[in-house]
Amino acid sequence: MSLVPLSSPALRGALADLKSLLAETAVARDRAGGTAKAERDAIRRSGLLTLAIPAAYGGQGEGWPAILGSVRELAQVDSSLAHLFAFHHLMVASILLYGNPTQRAGLLTATARRGLFWGNALNPLDRRTHLTPAGEPAEEEPQNWSLNGTKSFCSGATDSDLLLVSADGPDGVLRVMVLPADRAGIAVLDDWDAIGQRQTDSGTVTFTDVAVSAADILGPPGPFGDVASSLRPCIAQSILASLYLGIAEGALAAARGFTLTEGRPWRASGVASAAEDPYLLHHFGEVQLAVAAADALGGLALDRLQRAWERGRSLGAQERGETSLAVATFKVAAARAGLDAAGRLFDITGARGTAGRYGFDRFWRNVRTHSLHDPLDYKLKELGVHALTGALPEPGFYS
């Protein structure tokens, strides 16, 4: 499949080494669940956490096709750690899109210099966190706040250095802030129990009288402060699609390896090897077709995303909307490819493929869990509306 490589041999080597390391223990760690502390530290040591940080702040300044190609490669062997790796880069992008120049320079320079790992507590659908002014009320925007509440689906919060957090102010306006994960009053709970993506630490974070300063709150422009800042959902959705496609490729690779080394033809097939079984070849053809289609659509979507990203603050609503549609198309195709590949893996490997030692079920559990992040039906609705009327999706946290 076509993947855009990272720009330097050193980065490509670091990615290959990390992928090999994760593959060695992926099945056992999926079974165990919990926080993959050793693997997270390996990601820190790899130097790959700086891919999305501009060179001006000490990072690599890679483009999104290469960054998300790296996510996809890791997802082929371990979609949980690929998820954490990808969401770190989404948080970096959020600083670039939402923050003011001082915030961008300070936060991203520190991230590159100190190898900081970002976690997510933004979850815009969970509106149970609230900011209230600390001290006497003032007519102007307060300089000090108190944060209280709860956030769910906080991927990577465990073992993170910094958290991106959203909360409603007293005026009902959503604000996004950056907080050190160890700030007093923040508690990261070990309560993630989904059937898949078991090492993403996507559980709950609680906030009790957490001190927040005005400097912690991103902006201007902040979220949806201009067209450019509304590009974040396109990056987030591209991450999801890249994970799904990586899982599909991982399932296809697992099916290929099993068939060529351990597969047996069905007794009624009349052939000598599993590699000649016409029904198995049919399944391989169907999966290959789905993966190739998603790959091609992904190439188009990520090219659009990169062009929109390079527009910076001059990005227009039309191009942003067209990017969103391309990404939605990629996401639906990749999710379908992942679910199809993960299901057909068992049609190909048969009853022996259900043995726990192979861990083949993780591909289906992971893509099924992750593909529910937001409903594919609503992506199809956006595509249908555009096909029928030409209308572009309204910017939102999922579009």
For the stretch 52-86, pLDDT in tens is 999 999 999 999 999 999 999 999 999 999 999 99
333 located within any domain: yes
- In this prediction, residue 137 carries a pLDDT of 61
| DSSP string of 193-212, one letter each residue | --SS-TTS----EEEEEEEE
Q: Alpha-carbon Rg of the chain, whole angstroms? A: 22
384 located within any domain: yes
The reply to whether 248 and 369 lie within a common domain is yes
State both tokens at 188: 């990261």
- In this prediction, residue 142 carries a pLDDT of 85
Mean pLDDT, the chain, whole residue set: 96
2 located within any domain: no
The reply to whether 248 and 158 lie within a common domain is no
395 located within any domain: no
Count the domains in the chain: 3
The reply to whether 262 and 371 lie within a common domain is yes
Last residue of a domain, one of 118, 137, 172: 118
**Which segment of 114-118, 123-127, 155-159, 300-304 scores lowest on mean pLDDT?**
123-127
Give the DSSP H or E segment for 146: strand 144-151
- Structural domain range at position 211: 120-216
pLDDT at 288 over 80: yes
For the stretch 233-246, pLDDT in tens is 999 999 999 999 99
Q: At what angle do helices 64-75 and 278-311 cross, to 10 degrees?
A: 150
The reply to whether 341 and 194 lie within a common domain is no
Q: Across the strands, what pairs with 175? A: 167
Give the DSSP H or E segment for 177: strand 174-180
The reply to whether 257 and 331 lie within a common domain is yes
The reply to whether 373 and 256 lie within a common domain is yes
324 located within any domain: yes
396 located within any domain: no
Angle at 120 (CA atoms; ends 119, 121), nearest 5 degrees: 130
Last residue of a domain, one of 163, 186, 216: 216
With beta carbons less than 8 A apart as the criterion, state whether 126 and 397 touch: no
The reply to whether 112 and 22 lie within a common domain is yes
The reply to whether 113 and 124 lie within a common domain is no
Q: In angstroms, how far is the first alpha carbon of the chain from the final one?
A: 27
361 located within any domain: yes
With beta carbons less than 8 A apart as the criterion, state whether 217 and 166 touch: no
Cα(377)–Cα(210) distance, integer angstroms: 38
pTM for this predicted structure: 0.97
The reply to whether 268 and 339 lie within a common domain is yes
Angle at 369 (CA atoms; ends 367, 375), nearest 5 degrees: 95
CATH code: domain of residue 80:
1.10.540.10
The reply to whether 114 and 124 lie within a common domain is no
With beta carbons less than 8 A apart as the criterion, state whether 222 and 141 touch: no
CATH code: domain of residue 206:
2.40.110.10
With beta carbons less than 8 A apart as the criterion, state whether 144 and 212 touch: yes
pLDDT at 322 over 70: yes
With beta carbons less than 8 A apart as the criterion, state whether 180 and 198 touch: no
The reply to whether 26 and 132 lie within a common domain is no
| DSSP string of 315-346, one letter each residue | --HHHHHHHHHHHHHHHHHHHHHHHHHHHHHH
- In this prediction, residue 138 carries a pLDDT of 59
The reply to whether 368 and 288 lie within a common domain is yes
For the stretch 118-156, pLDDT in tens is 999 999 999 999 999 997 665 577 899 999 999 999 999
Cα(330)–Cα(322) distance, integer angstroms: 13
Q: Across the strands, what pairs with 177? A: 165, 217
For 210, phi and psi rounded to 5 degrees?
Answer: -80, 130
**What is the mean pLDDT of the segment spanning 235-261?**
98
398 located within any domain: no
CATH code: domain of residue 361:
1.20.140.10
- In this prediction, residue 135 carries a pLDDT of 75
Cα(198)–Cα(191) distance, integer angstroms: 11
Give the DSSP H or E segment for 150: strand 144-151
Last residue of a domain, one of 216, 247, 264: 216
Cα(107)–Cα(250) distance, integer angstroms: 35
